[in-house]
Amino acid sequence: AQKITQTQPGMFVQEKEAVTLDCTYDTSDPSYGLFWYKQPSSGEMIFLIYQGSYDQQNATEGRYSLNFQKARKSANLVISASQLGDSAMYFCAMREDYSGGSNYKLTFGKGTLLTVNP
Amino acid sequence: DAGVIQSPRHEVTEMGQEVTLRCKPISGHNSLFWYRQTMMRGLELLIYFNNNVPIDDSGMPEDRFSAKMPNASFSTLKIQPSEPRDSAVYFCASSFSWPGLEGLAGAFNEQYFGPGTRLTVT
């Protein structure tokens, strides 16, 4: 089974609207971290937001928020007030803290390509 | 503050040639990672260094790949000889891990990636 599943290969959103990018994960570790990265067409990987498995509140960073539903094992990224510059590939990633000493590893999903239309 | 710096940004070489990719991590970070990104396989971790010491090189494809970290501010990934199937984007990333606590939950902070090196082997 895949550890990180991003079911939306592509998403479209109108400028200024909100969009939710889905991410589900699979782990039996009691402690883990979830990350979202943005990769624009220029190629760099930009860290956006982090959620720890024991965090009581959903993480927020500016226009980015993470809708963390632990029981459902989902960590969806919400982008509010979309901008043209948000058009990019978005990757969800997980770090498992008790995975046989490999707590430094990030497992990435396949990504969702977001296109923001003017 | 400068982020992770990689050079070159683009490299085109012929099969059989040696390729050296370079990385300067963020100052103060003690963990360094080399990744490879391809359409077919996505992002793969090649090797992980902690305090300049290679900890996990299980992702290195074969003996043609080698990586070094002679000091805290510099790392190289070398491919010798290069092959067309090595064509990919290679990323270097760095993060801070709490010294002595690397085996524990929450020891690793987020990873910051460099701009990547796009390697084309013809």
- Chain B CB contacts of A50 below 8 Å: 110
Cα–Cα distance, A23 to A92 (Å, whole number):
6
CA distance readout (Å), A73 to A37, A52, A115, B2: 18, 12, 26, 35
- Chain B CB contacts of A92 below 8 Å: none
For the record, the structure tokens of B10 come out as 């683009």
Q: In angstroms, how far is CA B117 from the centroid of its own chain?
A: 10
Quick one: closest CA in A to B103, which residue? Answer: A101
Quick one: closest CA in A to B39, which residue? Answer: A110
DSSP B85: G
The rounded average pLDDT for each run of 10 residues, N- to C-terminus, in chain B (122 residues) is: 91 97 96 94 93 93 94 97 96 86 68 95 97
pLDDT tens readout for residues A61-91: 999 999 999 999 999 999 999 999 999 999 9
Q: In angstroms, how far is CA A34 from the centroid of its own chain?
A: 7
Q: Please judge whether A43 and B118 are an interchain contact, meaning their C-beta atoms are less than 8 angstroms apart.
A: yes
Q: Please judge whether A104 and B110 are an interchain contact, meaning their C-beta atoms are less than 8 angstroms apart.
A: no
- Looking at residue B110, its pLDDT comes to 86
Q: How many residues does chain B have?
A: 122
- Looking at residue A62, its pLDDT comes to 96
Instruction: Tell me which residues of chain A have a C-beta less than 8 Å from any C-beta of chain B.
Output: 31, 33, 35, 37, 42-47, 50, 52, 91, 95, 97-98, 101-106, 108, 110-111
Give me the mean pLDDT over the A32-53 stretch.
93
CB atoms within 10 A of CB A89: 17
Using the structure block, give the residue that is written with the tokens 């990030």: A106
- Looking at residue A19, its pLDDT comes to 97
Q: Return the C-alpha torsion angle B109, A94, A49, A114, nearest 10.
A: 150
pLDDT, greater one: A31 or A25: A25
List CB contacts of A82: < 8 A, sequence separation 6 or more.
A13, A14, A15, A16, A17, A18, A19, A116
- Which of A55, A91, A104, A110 to mutate: most B Cβ within 10 Å? A104
